Amino acid sequence: MGCGSRLQGVQAQTGWQGQAQQPNTSTPAPTLTPQRPDGSTAPIASYVAQLQTGKHKHVFTDIGFKDKGGRDVLVARKQSLLGFEYEVVDEYGNLIGHVKQHPVSLHNTFDATGAQRELVGRVKHQLLGQMIFQDNFWLEDAGGERTVSVSGDAFNSEFTLTSAATGGLLATVKLDFPGGFLRNLTAYNLGRYKIEVYSNELSPLMLAAFLVALEHRRETQRAI
């Protein structure tokens, strides 16, 4: 299933598409990204993601995605306060897939599975051997092959996702700091991110899985 009619409306124009009935577990063909008048690459879709309340009404647990018009298009619903397991649904509550953390000694793994629990891919976050103030994330397909490389800035406030096969730009995910100490602190506490998608090679479910991995990292840092 795709990410709801509003998200599909964007996808129909850009090629960032999902299937109508079941999630597409294959890798779609990359699309050519449009160009701005100045020659820079223009995103095919833009979103804002941040924490919001879910089944636990007084706790910010879920990760909601909104389009540029402020409309809900996707939600990753946390299933328990004690673990990192999410259901990913569209704007109407239709199930798209699941994301679940599997911690191991060398890295955290976040499995992304479809509506029928079929493995779609994984997000991995290296725990050992990383540089100070630098995080090492990458995305894999169901067969364990690295498909997306992730690079962060010096303060881990902005991440760039590129194709491991071609090096092409797939998406940018950056903390949305509006300016001013208190407003910036609020944005950080809500895990508010601006997302720009440049290719349909990155599926909505895998994008949601990456945001779950970022939220896990943020919670871990706050607990230290």
Q: How high does pLDDT run on average in the chain?
A: 80
Assigned domain for 32 exists? no
DSSP one-letter code for 17 = -
Assigned domain for 27 exists? no
Assigned domain for 170 exists? yes
Give the CA distances from residue 104 to residues 48, 110, 114, in Å, rounded to whole numbers and listed in that order. Answer: 30, 11, 22
**Any bridge partners for residue 161, and if so which?**
150, 171
Residue 15: per-residue pLDDT: 36
Assigned domain for 25 exists? no
Assigned domain for 142 exists? yes
Residue type, 196: E
Residue 179: per-residue pLDDT: 75
Assigned domain for 31 exists? no
Number of domains into which the chain is organized: 1
Residue 122: per-residue pLDDT: 97
Q: What angle do CA 187, 189, 192 make, to 5 degrees?
A: 40
SS3 content of the chain, % helix, strand, coil (to 5): 15, 40, 45
12: helix, strand or coil: helix
Q: What angle do CA 188, 101, 74 make, to 5 degrees?
A: 60
> For position 208, which CATH number holds?
2.40.160.200
Reading the block at residue 69, the tokens are 């018009």
Containing structural domain, residue 121: 5-18+43-223
72: helix, strand or coil: strand
Residue type, 160: T
Q: What angle do CA 3, 67, 190 make, to 5 degrees?
A: 100
Digit-coded pLDDT (tens) for 105-136: 678 899 999 999 999 999 999 876 544 455 68
Assigned domain for 24 exists? no
Q: What is the mean pLDDT of the segment spanning 33-54?
A: 78
Residues 6+ apart with CB under 8 A from 222: none
Assigned domain for 30 exists? no
Residue 54: per-residue pLDDT: 85
Least confident of 55-59, 87-91, 118-122, 161-165: 55-59
Reading the block at residue 206, the tokens are 């895998």
pTM for the model stands at 0.78
Digit-coded pLDDT (tens) for 175-208: 887 777 777 777 777 778 999 999 999 999 999 9
Give the CA distances from residue 62 to residues 3, 33, 157, in Å, rounded to whole numbers and listed in that order. Answer: 16, 30, 20
Digit-coded pLDDT (tens) for 88-109: 999 889 999 999 998 776 788 9
